[in-house]
Structure 1
């Protein structure tokens, strides 16, 4: 049986680091390349966690004989490495598949249509992230059950797992109002789906507009969006930097800026510092995803944690239920958790 120590030796990291990577510890600070090396080495050596070695005694779901699932990712493999959140979703899927002894075939967006026989050879397909209607139709045409993770398709016949981002955004804004913030800016990107650009279609952005309007606080100048596709860490860092510069030029300046994700927040931090301003004294920052690096910024970043690993695990559970005979559609909502840190005031 392969041990954590052997994986650590092969990758050149400590055993503690391997353990924290394989358990997706959100507090671990490690480069995306090193994290991926640990994951791939563990997979290559067929490592089984202590949790999975206990078998299925603690599971209410029975194992499926010779089950094999495909994971279809809306990002490319290099893009996924830049986003710890989506790594967490995939790791959650893989962990649950190991528990039920199911094999996995990984298909990233660039390779999706290359060999449809792969999708036709599996028991079911778990799809990560947003997909166009054309892609959803193509996947459904392969004749296998589909479950969507971190995306709810516009068709009621498919199961899905997601975080209710509009509600989470509204809850965050309620908390900011309770903490005394009124002039709240939002930076993010337009929604790109089905070959179209929806100017205000992204869920966090739409929820921000609705909440600010309902509370008679909406100022169009505080909503600053860029035409950026949601892939590539560097693109989002640069987007956050550029958009934050526009926000900082406003007079009067906002009390706080809400960024659509933590990578954009990192870019905003740089723009704020270059402007000679302090966080949170001159302008506060709050964000989404709560990636591991968020707590190590100066000051540590307040961010909404979206439980990616639980989304992945629940997607596998939905697939098992489907294959066991469930005929109706089910949607599962995984709650988020706010991590309040020093980048802004916390309510109460």
Structure 2
């Protein structure tokens, strides 16, 4: 059996350093090149770590992630109203249950949480959009931070999300290919760092850019909510904004909504107006929450894998705790689900 001493001699480091690297000691200060050399040398010599020997004997090594704090951008009532974000959190919790990790949940409030909540935690997973001030606070007090469903655009911070701009273009190109020309959009303004950006939300921005590129942009077809306080976009918001679009002299022939909850409200507005889905007007959305397939007609939507986003966020945190020293940004693919709420079977 190859020993740690032999690996240390081959790489030119101490046996203690080899041991700490192979046992994923996050407190060890060592260059990435040296760490990689140790791991590659151990693999070349077929060294079997104590962790792997334990697995072979049916034993499980203690997890590096003993305590996790989840910081959510929504209040509990808003999260419950949006099954997508429930899915993200459940992905995190299910992964942590396998690891036997203690979880502390912190939901949105007007003030920053107490720093003591982070004490003793291996790391923090942050769900959703947060301001620069909140991100700075998290970096100051958290041992490790990973963002789920939001990219803070800081290279050294890990994040995992789906590209909603790309998903929006996927929808629009499919609608265009199937003969839709007057495409309405229901969404919201974006608010971050105290500033409202009217067209900053990813889906909205992608919709506007695509329409302008094709010479078809009509501001009348854009209906945005003013709910910029961070709350989720609910059924009543979709209902109200859909009524605005349906009041136009020339109605849209299809409406894209920012999430499935808003699509449900849009269904109600269309049906109250005496119109038929999809014969008179089509509807398509994002998230593919469980109820989407049971609407009448079933809702066409982009499936965003919320639970996978949560699972990958935990995996990114584990990588950090195991010693990864560089930032990583992960994109989870989306899937266009074709159902009957558009008048034609759409092509992906």
Please indicate the TM-score interval, normalised by the length of the shorter structure.
Answer: 0.7 to 0.9
For 1:96 and 1:268, the matched residues in 2 are separated by 35
Shift of 1:98: 1.6
For 1:335 and 1:112, the matched residues in 2 are separated by 34
1:243 matches 2:241:
yes
Shift of 1:229: 3.4
Shift of 1:224: 1.3
1:177 matches 2:171:
no
Contact 2:64 2:321 in 1 (8 A): no
For residue 202 of structure 1, what is the aligned residue in structure 2?
A: 201
- Post-superposition Cα deviations, 1:234-257, rounded to whole Å, max 9, x if no partner, equal x62221111111111223221100
- Specify the SS of the correspondent of 2:141: coil
Structure 1 unmatched ranges of 5 or more: 1-54
- Specify the SS of the correspondent of 1:216: coil
For 1:114 and 1:330, the matched residues in 2 are separated by 26
After superposition, residues 59-138 of structure 1 pair within 5 angstroms as: 64-65=63-64, 67-110=66-109, 113-138=112-137
For 1:56 and 1:339, the matched residues in 2 are separated by 40
Shift of 1:63: 5.2
Contact 1:62 1:100 in 2 (8 A): no
Shift of 1:259: 0.6
Shift of 1:76: 1.4
- Specify the SS of the correspondent of 1:148: strand
Contact 2:124 2:142 in 1 (8 A): no
The alpha-carbon distance between structure 1 residues 274 and 113, as it changes in their structure 2 partners (threshold 3 A), is same
Contact 1:63 1:101 in 2 (8 A): no
Select which of 266, 269, 273 maps to 1:268.
Answer: 266
- Post-superposition Cα deviations, 1:50-84, rounded to whole Å, max 9, x if no partner, equal xxxxx989xxx975246211111111122211111
For residue 29 of structure 2, what is the aligned residue in structure 1?
A: none
Could you say which structure has the larger radius of gyration? 2
The alpha-carbon distance between structure 1 residues 87 and 221, as it changes in their structure 2 partners (threshold 3 A), is same
For residue 303 of structure 1, what is the aligned residue in structure 2?
A: 301
For residue 343 of structure 1, what is the aligned residue in structure 2?
A: 341
The alpha-carbon distance between structure 1 residues 283 and 63, as it changes in their structure 2 partners (threshold 3 A), is farther
- Specify the SS of the correspondent of 2:118: helix
For 1:97 and 1:111, the matched residues in 2 are separated by 28
For residue 139 of structure 1, what is the aligned residue in structure 2?
A: 138
Contact 1:72 1:112 in 2 (8 A): no
- Post-superposition Cα deviations, 1:70-125, rounded to whole Å, max 9, x if no partner, equal 11111112221111111110110011112222221111122973431121320110
The alpha-carbon distance between structure 1 residues 125 and 215, as it changes in their structure 2 partners (threshold 3 A), is same
For 1:111 and 1:201, the matched residues in 2 are separated by 23
The alpha-carbon distance between structure 1 residues 295 and 231, as it changes in their structure 2 partners (threshold 3 A), is farther
RMSD: 2.0
Structure 2 unmatched ranges of 5 or more: 1-53
Shift of 1:347: 2.4
For residue 250 of structure 2, what is the aligned residue in structure 1?
A: 252
- Specify the SS of the correspondent of 1:342: coil
For residue 279 of structure 2, what is the aligned residue in structure 1?
A: 281
For residue 46 of structure 2, what is the aligned residue in structure 1?
A: none
The alpha-carbon distance between structure 1 residues 56 and 211, as it changes in their structure 2 partners (threshold 3 A), is farther
Contact 1:72 1:128 in 2 (8 A): yes
For 1:90 and 1:230, the matched residues in 2 are separated by 21
For residue 331 of structure 1, what is the aligned residue in structure 2?
A: 329
